[in-house]
Amino acid sequence: MPKFVYAFAEGSKDMKDVLGGKGANLAEMTNLGLPVPPGFIITTEACRTYLEQGHEPAELAGQVDEHLAALQDAMGKRLGDAADPLLVSVRSGAAASMPGMMETVLNVGLNDESVPGLARMADDERFAWDSYRRLIQMFGKTVLDIDGEHFHDAFEAVKRERGTDSDLDLDAVDLRRVVDAFKGVVAEHAGREFPQDPREQLDLTVRAVFQSWNSPRAITYRRQEQIPGDLGTAVSVVAMVFGNLGPDSGTGVAFTRDPATGAQGIYGDYLANAQGEDVVAGIRNTLPLAELEQLDPESYRRLLEIMATLERHYRDLCDIEFTIERGRLWMLQTRIGKRTAAAAFVVACQFVDEGLIGLDEALRRVTGGQLAQLMFPRFDADAAKDPLTVGMNASPGAATGAVVFDSAAAVSRAAAGERVILVRRETNPDDLHGMIAAQGVLTSHGGRTSHAAVVARGMGKTCVCGAEELDIDVAARRLVGPGGVEVAEGDMLSIDGSTGEVFLGEVPVVDSPVVEYFEGVLGPDDEAADELIRAVHRIMTHADARRRLGVRANADTDADAARARRFGAEGIGLCRTEHMFLGERREHVERLVLAETDDERSAALDELLPLQRADFIALFSAMDGLPVTIRLLDPPLHEFLPDLTELSVRVALAEERGEPDAKDVALLAAVRRLNEHNPMFGLRGVRLGILVPGLFGMQVRAIAQAVAQLRRDGADVQPEIMIPLVGAVQELQTVAEETNAVLADESRRSEVPLDALIGTMIELPRAALTAGQIAEAAHFFSFGTNDLTQTTWGFSRDDVEGSFFSRYLERGIFGISPFETIDADGVGRLVRLAVDEGRASRPDLKLGICGEHGGDPASVHFFHDAGLDYVSCSPFRVPVARLEAGRAAVADV
Ligand code: PEP
Ligand code: MG
């Protein structure tokens, strides 16, 4: 027979799945010998069965009978006994914490007959009537679904008649009238009398708790917190103890340490002469817990003792709820306390110092998400209220500045020393200079993998994207927000990339000392370093010692590379050379595209060569002694040319004026020729290298010359040349042949040995499926999981998030965008396959990942498991990746 009910003594903290978090911890505290009122727990399985079948499992009633009998014996009281009734609380509690999402009813068991008995036993008539009115009110709302307003109104009416607005002024006679009024509310709104049979009260309440698993707010909360919808809640039934029995009674909540900073001490609130929900509801002002020392020194001492016991036992910060009934302390709940990101680091190290946990465990207790939070400047919480709108939180941070609507304005205002926010419908490579100049980027279109988001994240720049309520009119230089609020160029705006909030005006920000630490400006031993910096340093040091994954950075400039290195990057995993073809260099690309003869083409490439060489010298110098992966040109050439529509208009207008521009006409023909319906699947990557003679050769030559020069100067340069978008080994072989020839040629000329690894990105399913063949021609693979996700799912990475993804997320088709966290079952399967088959054909194949997933905590764990050598991510995410790689290494030790 399935066991649906457990006595506290039968459970433990490790039985959360069965008993829920609350029940499991009540059981644990009971077994620790702490003062917990007796009770029992109905399992999550009983709830699941109820929800599946629509009625309680047949065995439940009998098992409840048994445990109720034991509870009555333990208390020496009986449910429904008119002379001395046993009352119980009935509380929900799932395996995962869902604070306030499900139901609780107190004082179950009380009825018309037993109120006088309770009054006599407590020697307090007021208390008995107050307990009864609370039961009817909670039962009415929770079990009978009556709107709480009706009870509130009835209560207020009695208070009004009494000429008071405080509950405390009501005496027993008044509360008896409240009870009568409440019974009237039940009769009127539930179409039945308040049930007098205590067992019926109990059974109906348990059922209501089961049902509250599927209340709309519980469903919403689970979706947001990614808690599975089929776990069900347990129900704990506990003998009531009363904090509302006079001044020597009370109730409180406490943390064993400060959950905001991790500082040790007494953090909590106490409310004398009150029941649990009064504290949370904030009806009356609570006292700081420390004041309990004066009110009830004995209970206070005992409470401190218990907190110490709990911390030693759980080896973690705990939060508790307790009640004092006439000088006697009772523990009603404990659990591992939620904490801020800063406290997570500080507290973990405190527990190490106290000898309760080791550094591995400390590492397990902090997350990359928490570290990321600590790294970004934040808006001062008191000042950041009432956002204008909320978009997608694309790249964290808090940025404030004057609104600008294009790159030119961003650059010129920034040059004049102004802070600016670049506001666009969406961004494209043309906006790069503006993005660099701006404090933050705000778009009304596109999702978390849109151009704005990816580039901003790469630069560690704050970005809110897809703020669709904003109507952005670039030509008129203004935007219109909800309610017709207008923002003109130059007006101040503040954007929070961690929450997606957009505020009017300037919200003050506070800087992150944790970034100063990673920058090397603030050392852990400096006087200015606080406990948080020392804790971050200690845990990061341990993560580095433990991790097996290397961590590199995606960086295209020496400045980014240098920062990445300070942040702990062990090389560059992806230099996107296309970012070096923008600005003034576009002209050369235009010339390359327009070239009609070999000579013209060579001339264009010759112009680019020294520029590229200088780029690479800067990059290699910044990463002296570490590997640098340079990816040859990837995007379609038309991205460097003017927009087709704009150019067509320009040419047409010029012709109309009778002043045709020959260069524009030629350019338009080229743009038309290169125009593609699906550019992402078109002439890009390796295809470009094969089709445009000399293009990849020029890039390789620039790399070779940079390496030769630096090596001659004694530098330790470790170049890795990477070919994008390969789908067949023959493509790679074709390019590798040309690459090797150029390397050999430059080596001969410079008399410097020019060895370089040649590898490929794996970003097409065919590449993954034929990885064994491709590895024969590649020294390394780097998984381009942005494109691999796009090509595996058939999702356009630039469009989906603004389009149907929100519905997919709402419907639970996936819990998180596959562009954010690697889709382990699909894309991840291709990764594993390519790892296995690649290594089988070349055992020393180097394996990395350089898509956006490289800095995503959950994905880092996946890549650790898949056995990659390194992850590569934007410089700002390097510390997060280091931490998560360390956590992955200790996850199952
Ligand atoms: C990728 O596709 O994952 C990748 C890193 O390349 P890009 O984002 O530049 O296409
Ligand atoms: Mg790619």
Rounded to the nearest whole angstrom, what is the distance from the C-alpha of residue 787 to the centroid of ligand 2? Answer: 5
Confidence of residue 854 (pLDDT cuts 50, 70, 90): very high
Confidence of residue 584 (pLDDT cuts 50, 70, 90): confident
Which of 448, 554, 576 best tests ligand 1's pocket when mutated (most atoms within 8 Å of CB)? Answer: 576
Confidence of residue 284 (pLDDT cuts 50, 70, 90): low
Q: Looking at ligand 1, which atom is closest to the CA of residue 787?
A: 2
Which of 450, 574, 580, 786 best tests ligand 1's pocket when mutated (most atoms within 8 Å of CB)? Answer: 786
Within 8 A by CB and 6+ apart from 507, the residues are: 379, 380, 383, 384, 398, 400, 494
Confidence of residue 510 (pLDDT cuts 50, 70, 90): confident
Within 8 A by CB and 6+ apart from 428, the residues are: 451, 639
Q: Which residues pair with 236 in a beta bridge?
A: 41, 91
Tokens 């009674």 found at:
249
- Does 451 participate in catalysis according to the annotation? yes
Mean pLDDT in residue range 119-147: 94
pLDDT reported for residue 596:
87
pLDDT reported for residue 288:
86
762 lines ligand 1 (CB under 6 A): no
Residue 24, pLDDT > 70, answer: yes
CA dist 892 → 220, 364, 865 (Å) = 32, 10, 11
Residue 3, pLDDT > 60, answer: yes
CATH architecture of 5-237: 2-Layer Sandwich (3.30)
Domain positions in the chain are: 5-237, 250-336, 377-511, 547-636+676-890
Confidence of residue 641 (pLDDT cuts 50, 70, 90): confident
Q: What is the pLDDT of residues 93-112, one digit of tens each?
A: 999 887 667 788 999 999 99
697 lines ligand 1 (CB under 6 A): no
Q: What is the pLDDT of residues 292-313, one digit of tens each?
A: 999 999 999 999 999 999 999 9
3-class state of residue 710 by DSSP: helix
Q: Looking at ligand 1, which atom is closest to the CA of residue 782?
A: 5
Backbone angles phi, psi at 208, to 5 degrees: -65, -35
Nearest CA to ligand 1 atom 8: 786
786 lines ligand 1 (CB under 6 A): yes
Confidence of residue 590 (pLDDT cuts 50, 70, 90): confident
Q: What is the pLDDT of residues 76-93, one digit of tens each?
A: 999 999 999 999 999 999
Residue 813, pLDDT > 90, answer: no
CATH architecture of 250-336: 2-Layer Sandwich (3.30)
Tokens 């506990």 found at:
238
Looking at the domain that runs over 377-511, which CATH code has it been given?
3.50.30.10
CB 700 within 8 A of CB 661: no
User: Which range, 213-217, 587-591, 734-738, is most confident?
Assistant: 734-738
CA dist 198 → 62, 114, 202, 203, 499 (Å) = 16, 10, 6, 9, 48
pLDDT reported for residue 267:
82
Q: Is 813 exposed, middle or buried (0-12, 13-18, 19+ CB in 10 A)?
A: exposed
Mean pLDDT in residue range 810-829: 90
Confidence of residue 266 (pLDDT cuts 50, 70, 90): confident
Residue 377, pLDDT > 90, answer: no
Rounded to the nearest whole angstrom, what is the distance from the C-alpha of residue 241 to the centroid of ligand 2? Answer: 63
Cα gap 320→254, rounded to integer Å = 5
Cα gap 171→477, rounded to integer Å = 66
Nearest CA to ligand 1 atom 6: 784
Cα gap 867→850, rounded to integer Å = 15
Query: Taking the model in full, what pTM does it have?
Result: 0.81
Q: Looking at ligand 1, which atom is closest to the CA of residue 786?
A: 3
Closest-approaching ligand to the CA atom of 554: 1
Cα gap 122→371, rounded to integer Å = 52
Residue 282, pLDDT > 80, answer: no
Residue 278, pLDDT > 70, answer: no
20 lines ligand 1 (CB under 6 A): no
Catalytic residue among 67, 150, 445, 451: 451
Catalytic residue among 318, 850, 861, 864: 850
On the question of a common fold for 377-511 and 547-636+676-890, the answer reads no
The first and second tokens of residue 539, run together, are 């845990």
pLDDT reported for residue 280:
52
Q: Among candidates 200, 258, 253, 209, which has minimal Cα distance to 234?
A: 209
Mean pLDDT in residue range 779-805: 91
Mean pLDDT in residue range 124-133: 94
User: Which range, 448-462, 628-642, 857-871, is most confident?
Assistant: 857-871
3-state secondary structure 502-537: EEECCCCEECCHHHHHHHCCCCCCCCCCCHHHHHHH
Mean pLDDT, all residues of the chain: 92
- Does 579 participate in catalysis according to the annotation? no
Q: What is the pLDDT of residues 314-355, one digit of tens each?
A: 999 998 999 999 999 999 999 998 887 888 999 999 999 999
Rounded to the nearest whole angstrom, what is the distance from the C-alpha of residue 775 to the centroid of ligand 2? Answer: 19
Confidence of residue 448 (pLDDT cuts 50, 70, 90): low
Residue type, 849: I
798 lines ligand 1 (CB under 6 A): no
Residue 134, pLDDT > 70, answer: yes
Rounded to the nearest whole angstrom, what is the distance from the C-alpha of residue 872 to the centroid of ligand 1? Answer: 11
Residue 826, pLDDT > 80, answer: yes
Fold classification of 547-636+676-890 is TIM Barrel (3.20.20)
Q: What is the pLDDT of residues 560-576, one digit of tens each?
A: 999 999 999 999 999 99
pLDDT reported for residue 285:
66
Q: In what order do the strands lie in the sheet with 250-257?
A: 287-288, 264-272, 250-257, 318-325, 328-336
Confidence of residue 253 (pLDDT cuts 50, 70, 90): confident
Mean pLDDT in residue range 684-688: 95
851 lines ligand 1 (CB under 6 A): yes
Instruction: For the chain, give the percent of residues with pLDDT over 90.
Output: 75
Confidence of residue 458 (pLDDT cuts 50, 70, 90): low
